[in-house]
Structure 1
C-alpha cells in the first residue's frame, strides 16, 4: 500500500472533519480534498512522499478552499471578512451530564449527517462517504442497491446539508437522542465494510472496523442507549477474532479453521460480561436495538465455543430465525441458511435459499458450498463460478478459485 493510499484510507474522515470545522462549507471541503489527493497522485512517489502525508493533504486542500473563498469574496467585495472568519473560527464541543466536554470531529461529522432533515439511508450513506472515505461502489454493495442509485442518494444528501444550512456541530444532549440510531447504523455499516471490503486487495480493514467501534463508543459515552450498548458488544466480539481471520500468507481463514489462541480473549470476556448484564434487563423496545441484541447473542455463541465442534448451531439457527422475523432481509436469510446447514445438513440449508435474490457474490458462494457438501458437484461448480465472476475482493476471489480447483480435482 502506498503512503497516499494509506492516508486516504486511515485519515480521510478526520481531514474532512477538520476542514469542515474550520470552513463550514461541505460543498468546498470534499472537492478540495479530492483535488489534493489527485495532485498527490501526480507528485508523490515512493521516494518523494512527504514525511507527514496527512498534513500535506490538509495544507493543499486548505489552500484550495481559501482560493475559492477569496474568489467568492472578491466577487462580493467581502474578502477580509470571509478569510479572517474562516481562519479564526473556534472548535465546538458539547457539555455532557458529568460536566466534561465531548469534542470529537468524527462524531460531529456523523451527527451532522444524521440530521433529521435527511432520510436515514441518505444519512448513513453520506457518513460512510465523508467519514470513512468508502467508495460509492462499496457503499452501494452495503445497501444492496445499484451504484448509480447510491451516487444519486449521496448527492441529494450533500445538497440538502448545504441548502438547508445544517450546522457542523454536536447538538445538545436533549436533541442528540433522535440521531443515535443513525449513528449506530452508520457505525455498523462501517464495521461491516471493514470486515467485508467489497473491492480491493485486502480481506479485512481492521483499522476501519476499529474506528467504527470507537465512533460507537464515543456516542454511547455521550448518550448511553440499549442500541449502542448491544452494538458495541456485537462489534467487539467479532473484532476479537481479527488476528485469526487471515493466514500468514494473507489467505482467508474460515471460522472453523481459525486458531482460537489468536482470539483476543480479554475483549471476549469483557463483552460477554456486558451482554450478560444487558440480557438481564427487559428486552429493548427499539427494533434496531433488538436486532443488535440478537446478533450479539449469535456472536457470543461463536466466541464462547471452545472448539468448532462445540458450537451450538441449533441455537444460532434459532436466533437467526427470530432476527429474520424481526428484520427480514436476504442477508439474514443467507446467514440463517448457513446455520441451519450446520445444524441439520446442507439440503436443509439449501431449502432456505430457494427464491432468495441478493446482489453480489456471497449468495452464489454459499449456495455453491452447500451444493458441494450435498454432493451436487456440477451445480456447485456453476454457483462458485458465478461467485468468482461477481467477486471484486482479491483474497476472497482467490479463496473461491481454490475451492473450485478442489471440486475439479
Structure 2
C-alpha cells in the first residue's frame, strides 16, 4: 500500500511539472510567437531603450522570434532628448535574439524628433549587437538645441547660432558617440566673433567624463567668413584638430581679411595657446602694423617708428589668435609675454595703445602711444613713460614723462600744441 502511494505521488508531481512546463511554454510561445504577445514584451523593451519613455503605436504585426513590425510609434519623455521633445517613428522592426534588449536587432525608418520652434530632425538607423548607427538630417537647427542633447558640454556654452543643411552620421557604441558629416553654419557666434556662411566637414568623438563630456576629432572649414569687431576674413580651407584639451586645439587656419584698402593674408598654425602666426599684406605693411590693423581696424600713420624694435610681435601674436579666432578680449596677452596689461583706446578724437609691466609687487611701469586729433584737424602724437610705486597699501607716488616727437619736443609753437605733459603725483586710497 505504501509503495503504491509513493508511486502515485510521483505521477502526480510529474503531471504538475508537465502542466507547469506546458503552461510556461505556451505563455512564452504566445508572447514571442504572436503579435499581441509581442506587444506585451515590446512595450517595456522599448521603454528600456528610450530610458523610460511613454510609448504608444498604431499597429503591431509579426512576432519577436521572426521579427515584429510596429507602425506610427510615438515616444514621449525620452531620456536622451530634451524634456519637451517627442520621438515619432514611421516603422520600427524588432527581432529578439537574447534576454538583453540592447543585443536585439532593430531597424527604424522615417523617424522624427520634434522640438518646439524648430524644424524636425529626420532619421533612420539600426541597432545591432549594442551599436547604434543613425543617419540624421534637418533643414535648420539652432546650436543651442545641440547643447541640450549634451548638458555636459558646459565648457562650450559660449557657442550659439544657427546651422543649415545638416547631414550627420551617428555611431554610438558603449559610451562613445561619433558624429561625422557635413553642415553649414549660417551664423555662429563664439564670444564676440561671428562665423558666417561656413561649410564644414566634422568628425568628432564625444565620451562622458567624471564631470563633463570629453571631445576630440577634427573640424574642416571648406569656406566661410570670420567676422570680428574690425575685420571680415574670408576663410580658405582650414582645419581645427581637437585632442586631449578641447580648449587648446591644433590650428591650420588660412584666410584673407580686408581692412580699408589693405588686404591681409593670414595663416595660423600651432595651437591656440602657442600659435605660429604669419601675416602678409597688399600694400606691404610691417607685421606689427598689421597686428594693430586687424585688432583696431585702423592704419596708424607714424606707428612704425614706435614699433621698429619688434618687441610687439611675440606679445600680440598669441592674443591676436585668441581674439581673432576664439572671441578673446586680450586678457591673456600679458601672461603670454610677461606684460601685465595691454589696452587699446579708440575714441573718436584719439587712438592709443598702452603697455604695463609690473617690475615688483610695488613698482609698475607704463608705456603709451596716443594719436590725438585736435580741433583744428592737426594731429598730435604723444609718447608717455610713467611709473608708480606703492609706498604703503594706500599711498602711491607716480612720475610721468611725455616725449613729443620731432620739433614738438622743443616747447610751444604756432599751432598751440603746447609743452610735454610731465607730472609728479601721489594718490591716497581711502577705506570706506
Fold-level match, TM-score > 0.5? no
Structure scoring higher RCO (CA < 8 A, sep ≥ 6) equals: 1
Structure having the larger proportion of residues in strand: 2
Larger Rg: 2
Structure having the larger proportion of residues in helix: 1
The TM-score normalised by the length of structure 2 is 0.28
The TM-score normalised by the length of structure 1 is 0.29
